[in-house]
């Protein structure tokens, strides 16, 4: 066990013991104090990983019950009854189907044939394709798919130093593109759905699929090419000959015509997307419900796009348990009044700032907190209630604050600590400190774009 892991384990144990000696009040009850202590302990274990992430999440369920933060095990498992958990689960199956048939590779070949004139544009092609796929499926699954394709491309380089230099740009650009693409629709990330769901629970206000897209798409259209420009400027890839690039595209081996399986999956995903859009006016077409039904159609007799084992193999179980447990802890935070305590302790009684100033401050706070709490689901559960209260104090719609949170928190790539960038970091093409040279600037640009566009978009939608 590494020193950081030992330190993390000891710190978590110390917090769980020490929290019992912290005085309580009418606002911060014993249950609330214990919930906050459990959250901090779980976050430390998640960041330092002395035990596997999935085990930490399962342990978190037990801690909620043991320290009476919830009435019992059913309360501790409340997050696992949340629709978002099942959306996360089936999204891995949908991702696996898109990869298997193989729609993702066909899309990549199409984009590369149009844009891939040099290595820089090959990177742009991969980033565009990853962003598009990530708009409807998990960022983790999308990144995992394109790592394999990217590694194949990097194998063209015979010189090790040239491959390393180029690989740095590609392996940093890929997770950035996946996470930016996840902003396009609510289905692009479980974090989007968490933000929407918690806002609706607290206020009864529902952000629709179309409303989210109106806010997200223009930001992505600006940020994706901007991120690409920043990455190739800071980590310039080594160029290859046109012939090498052409031969690589040919090795992707995509059949000239769409097979029945491809047409079936393409039709299924298209229908799902249409129903998601219609959910803006017909709430019965719930995003998770549509995803579950669409997922089930992948297993119809005599079609069988996926086998059950292929689905099980495609699931990132740590991600599944992380979302479920963090939602359980978030439910306990709200039920035990911790959110009210944070609001009363941190927020002022009145705010005299323009809307743009508020969005800017919230965006800066979110990105700053991601440095210390690089577990986005936990950050959402901690901040939603205080931000709703902040909106009330400022006399503006809480949608503005929660959209700012939802759009910014998904861009957790300053360092490769989130699951998505961690996948490419493990390939060894860049060091942990090298990522922030480009991603820090990308996050600053994201703050500015969100600050300028979000109030305009919500005004156009009639929300502000």
Higher pLDDT, 148 or 237: 237
Q: For residue 258, what are the contacts with CB-CB under 8 A and spacing of at least 6?
A: 106, 266
Query: Of all residues in the chain, what percent carry a pLDDT higher than 70?
Result: 99
pLDDT tier for residue 270 given thresholds of 50, 70 and 90: very high
d(CA 212, CA 78): 27
Question: pLDDT tens for residues 424-443?
Answer: 998 889 988 889 999 999 99
Q: Give residue 16's pLDDT.
A: 94
Question: pLDDT tens for residues 360-398?
Answer: 999 999 999 888 777 788 889 888 988 998 898 888 999
Residue 205 has pLDDT above 70, yes or no: yes
Q: Give residue 349's pLDDT.
A: 63
pLDDT tier for residue 333 given thresholds of 50, 70 and 90: confident
Residue 211 has pLDDT above 90, yes or no: yes
Mean pLDDT on 266-285: 93
Residue 407 has pLDDT above 90, yes or no: yes
- Of 58-62, 70-74, 413-417, the range with the lowest mean pLDDT is 413-417
The two three-digit tokens of residue 171, written as one number: 């392996």
d(CA 436, CA 446): 14
d(CA 458, CA 450): 12
Q: What is the mean pLDDT of the chain?
A: 90
The interaxial angle of helices 260-278 and 287-296, nearest 10 deg, is 160
Query: Of all residues in the chain, what percent carry a pLDDT higher than 90?
Result: 55
Q: Give residue 367's pLDDT.
A: 92
d(CA 221, CA 132): 11
Give the alpha-carbon dihedral of 121, 127, 128, 129, to 10 degrees.
110
Question: pLDDT tens for residues 7-30?
Answer: 999 999 999 999 999 998 888 899
Whole-model pTM? 0.87
- Of 37-46, 165-174, 371-380, the range with the lowest mean pLDDT is 371-380
Q: Give residue 254's pLDDT.
A: 78
Question: pLDDT tens for residues 290-311?
Answer: 999 999 999 998 888 999 999 9
| Neighbour tally for 40: CB within 10 Å | 17
Distances in whole angstroms, Cα of residue 19 to Cα of each of 14, 41, 63:
8, 10, 13
- Of 48-52, 60-64, 198-202, 241-245, the range with the lowest mean pLDDT is 241-245
Higher pLDDT, 302 or 64: 64
Residue 348 has pLDDT above 80, yes or no: no
pLDDT tier for residue 46 given thresholds of 50, 70 and 90: confident
Mean pLDDT on 161-176: 94
Q: Give residue 347's pLDDT.
A: 66
Mean pLDDT on 207-227: 96
Residue 173 has pLDDT above 80, yes or no: yes
Residue 350 has pLDDT above 70, yes or no: no
Mean pLDDT on 140-151: 87
Nearest alpha-carbon partner for 207 in 356, 384, 52: 384
Q: Give residue 417's pLDDT.
A: 76
Mean pLDDT on 87-115: 85
Residue 95 has pLDDT above 90, yes or no: no
Nearest alpha-carbon partner for 125 in 248, 235, 269: 248
d(CA 32, CA 341): 9
pLDDT tier for residue 408 given thresholds of 50, 70 and 90: very high
Residue 340 has pLDDT above 80, yes or no: no
The two three-digit tokens of residue 175, written as one number: 């997770």
Q: Give residue 106's pLDDT.
A: 85
């Amino acid at each position: 066990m590494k020193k950081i892991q030992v330190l993390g384990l000891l710190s978590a144990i110390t917090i769980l013991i020490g929290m019992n000696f912290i005085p309580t009040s009418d606002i911060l009850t014993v249950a609330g104090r214990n919930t906050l202590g459990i959250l901090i302990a779980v976050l430390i274990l998640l960041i330092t990983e002395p035990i596997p992430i999935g085990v930490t999440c399962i342990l978190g369920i037990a801690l909620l019950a043991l320290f009476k933060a919830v009435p019992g095990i059913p309360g501790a498992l409340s997050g696992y009854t949340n629709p978002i958990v099942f959306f996360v689960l089936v999204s891995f199956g949908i991702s696996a189907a898109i990869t298997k048939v193989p729609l993702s590779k066909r899309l990549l070949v199409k984009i590369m044939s149009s844009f891939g004139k040099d290595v820089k544009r090959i990177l742009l092609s991969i980033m565009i394709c990853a962003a598009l796929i990530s708009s409807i499926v998990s960022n983790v699954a999308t990144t995992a798919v394109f790592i394999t394709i990217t590694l194949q491309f990097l194998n063209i380089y015979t010189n090790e130093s040239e491959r390393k230099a180029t690989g740095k740009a590609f392996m940093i650009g890929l997770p950035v593109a996946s996470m930016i693409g996840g902003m396009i629709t609510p289905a692009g990330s479980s974090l989007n759905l968490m933000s929407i769901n918690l806002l609706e629970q607290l206020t009864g206000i529902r952000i629709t699929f179309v409303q989210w897209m109106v806010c997200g798409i223009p930001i992505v259209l600006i940020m994706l090419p901007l991120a690409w420009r920043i990455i190739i400027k800071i980590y310039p890839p080594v160029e290859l000959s046109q012939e090498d690039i052409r031969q690589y595209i040919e090795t992707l081996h995509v059949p000239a015509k769409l097979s029945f399986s491809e047409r079936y999956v393409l039709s299924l995903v298209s229908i799902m997307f249409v129903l998601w859009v219609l959910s803006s006016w017909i709430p019965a077409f719930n995003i998770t419900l549509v995803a579950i039904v669409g997922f089930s159609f992948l297993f119809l007799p005599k079609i069988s796009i996926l086998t059950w084992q292929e689905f099980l193999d495609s699931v990132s179980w740590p991600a599944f348990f992380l979302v479920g447990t963090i939602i359980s802890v978030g439910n306990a935070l709200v039920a035990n009044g911790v959110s009210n305590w944070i609001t009363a302790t941190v927020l002022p009684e009145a705010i005299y700032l323009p809307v743009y100033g508020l969005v800017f401050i919230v965006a800066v706070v979110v990105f700053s907190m991601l440095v210390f709490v690089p577990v986005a689901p936990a950050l959402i559960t901690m901040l939603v209630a205080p931000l709703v209260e902040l909106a009330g104090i400022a006399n503006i719609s809480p949608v503005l604050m929660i959209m700012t949170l939802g759009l910014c928190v998904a861009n957790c790539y300053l360092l490769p600590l989130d699951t998505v960038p961690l996948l490419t970091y493990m390939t060894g093409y860049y060091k942990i400190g090298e990522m922030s040279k480009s991603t820090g600037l990308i996050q600053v640009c994201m703050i500015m774009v969100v600050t300028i566009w979000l109030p305009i978009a919500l005004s156009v939608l009639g929300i502000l």
